[in-house]
């Protein structure tokens, strides 16, 4: 087990006397960011870590991601793990019941075609169609951010009450209005086994800030991975440091 956690800004381990609920982003938090979203590396140690934590926290563990739940399942292969996908537009509780937001679907269908045409014009762009949201990845054309933002803003401007644009690390997401990672966290925290537990959320990107705000309002532990502005109260440097911190917590939970 790794014990070399960089201590600067690193969170203390959660108090043993308290009941905790753990929420985790995936990309850039549990796995390193890579050139293409299909190429992330999920190994057996990560799966085991998540299963052990779910067990030790009485099921109160959920992955909160921008990815679709089907995509999360394809990589994580943990079909009984609670999840929220597509920034809160998709949700699966610990009993395996799934729901997906539909109000904005027609508007998204109309915009989808336009984005597709945009992508056809440029090999360096990659469109990830998640069903209830769209992600346009531009990691291979990093200077295209401003241009793409303008184009996408003009595509969704006809649907101000239904669609919104979010910018992440070399990705733009078009998603249903009113869904974000904070909404996803609140939804879990309203039901068993998450209710009445103090939340911990670990994330690395701008869209995780909504989750951090919810956690801060409940005096939980908001942990930002990496650098950059954040409302989170502490930091870990990278996914390896997240693994080390979680492993240290597992050891403490197993002892108590
Ligand atoms: Mg992330």
Contact 118, 134 (CB under 8 A): no
> For the domain 20-100+179-255, what is the CATH code?
3.40.50.1000
* Helix, strand and coil in the chain, % to nearest 5: 40, 20, 40
Confidence label for 157 from pLDDT (cuts 50, 70 and 90): very high
Residue 6 has pLDDT above 70, yes or no: no
Sequence ranges of the domains in the chain: 20-100+179-255, 105-176
* pLDDT confidence band for 1 (50 / 70 / 90): very low
d(CA 191, CA 141): 42
pLDDT of residue 37: 86
> How far, in Å, is the centroid of ligand 1 from the Cα of 210?
13
Query: 7 pLDDT band (50/70/90 cuts)?
Result: very low
| CATH, range 105-176 | 3.30.70.1020
**Closest by CA position to 204, among listed 222, 192, 182:** 222
* CA dist., res. 88 & res. 100, Å (int): 9
Indicate the pLDDT class of residue 31, thresholds 50, 70 and 90: very high
Residue-wise pLDDT tens digits, 71-112 = 999 999 999 999 999 999 999 998 899 999 999 999 999 999
Contact call for residues 125 and 143 (beta carbons, < 8 A): no
Could you tell me which of 22, 9, 6 has the C-alpha nearest to residue 249? 22
Distance 94 CA to ligand 1 centre (A): 22
Task: Say if residue 9's pLDDT is above 90.
Answer: no
Q: How far is the CA of 82 from the centre of ligand 1 (A)?
A: 17
User: The pTM is what?
Assistant: 0.89
Q: Exactly one of 12, 25, 143, 161 is catalytic; which is it?
A: 25
Q: How far apart are CA 11 and CA 218, in angstroms?
A: 17
Greatest alpha-carbon pair distance for the chain in Å reads 58
User: Quick one: pLDDT at residue 225?
Assistant: 97
For 60-73, what is each residue's pLDDT tens digit?
A: 999 999 999 999 99
Q: List the shell of residues around ion ligand 1, using CB closer than 5 Å.
A: 25, 27-28, 204-205
| Cα–Cα nearest to 61, from 224, 250, 226 | 250
Tens-digit pLDDT profile for residues 109-155 = 999 999 999 899 998 999 999 999 999 999 999 999 999 999 999 99
User: Is residue 208 within 8 Å of residue 181, measured between CB atoms?
Assistant: yes
pLDDT of 35:
82
pLDDT at 10: 84
Instruction: Look up residue 143 and give its DSSP letter.
Output: G
Q: Is 25 a catalytic residue?
A: yes
Residue range 223-247: average pLDDT? 96
- Per-residue pLDDT, averaged over 167-182, amounts to 92
Averaged pLDDT, 230-237: 96
* Cα(211) to centroid(ligand 1), Å: 12
**Per-residue pLDDT tens over the stretch 192-225:** 999 999 999 999 999 999 999 999 999 999 999 9
Report in angstroms the alpha-carbon separations of 252 from 13, 188, 197. 8, 25, 18
Distance CA 13, CA 241 (A): 13
Q: What is residue 8's predicted lDDT score, i.e. its pLDDT?
A: 54
User: CA-to-CA distance for 89 and 68, rounded, in angstroms?
Assistant: 9
User: Can you give the pLDDT at residue 243?
Assistant: 98
How far is the centre of ligand 1, averaged over its atoms, from the C-alpha of 205 (Å)? 5
What's the 203 CA to ligand 1 centre distance in angstroms? 6
């Amino acid at each position: 087990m790794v014990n070399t956690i960089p201590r600067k800004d690193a969170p203390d381990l959660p108090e043993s006397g308290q009941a905790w609920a753990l929420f985790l982003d995936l990309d850039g938090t549990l796995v390193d960011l890579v050139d293409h979203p299909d190429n992330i590396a999920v190994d057996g140690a990560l799966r085991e870590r998540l299963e052990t934590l779910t067990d030790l926290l009485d099921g109160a563990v959920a992955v909160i991601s921008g990815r679709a739940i089907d995509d999360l399942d394809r990589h994580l292969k943990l079909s009984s793990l609670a999840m929220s996908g597509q920034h809160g537009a998709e949700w699966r509780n610990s009993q395996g019941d799934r729901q997906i937001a539909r109000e904005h679907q027609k508007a998204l269908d109309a915009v989808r075609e336009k984005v597709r045409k945009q992508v056809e014009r440029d090999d360096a762009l990659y469109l990830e169609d998640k069903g209830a949201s769209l992600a346009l990845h531009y990691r291979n054309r990093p200077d295209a951010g401003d241009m793409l933002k303008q184009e996408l803003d003009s595509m969704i401007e006809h649907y101000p009450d239904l669609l919104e644009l979010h910018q992440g690390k070399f990705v733009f997401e078009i998603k249903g209005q009113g869904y974000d990672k904070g909404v996803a966290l609140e939804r879990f925290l309203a039901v068993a086994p998450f209710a009445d537990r103090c939340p911990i959320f670990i994330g690395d990107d701008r869209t995780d800030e909504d989750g951090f705000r919810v956690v801060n309002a409940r005096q939980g532990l908001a942990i930002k991975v990496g650098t950059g502005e954040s409302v989170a109260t502490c930091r870990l440097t990278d996914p390896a440091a997240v693994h080390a911190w979680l492993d240290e917590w597992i050891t403490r939970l197993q002892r108590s």
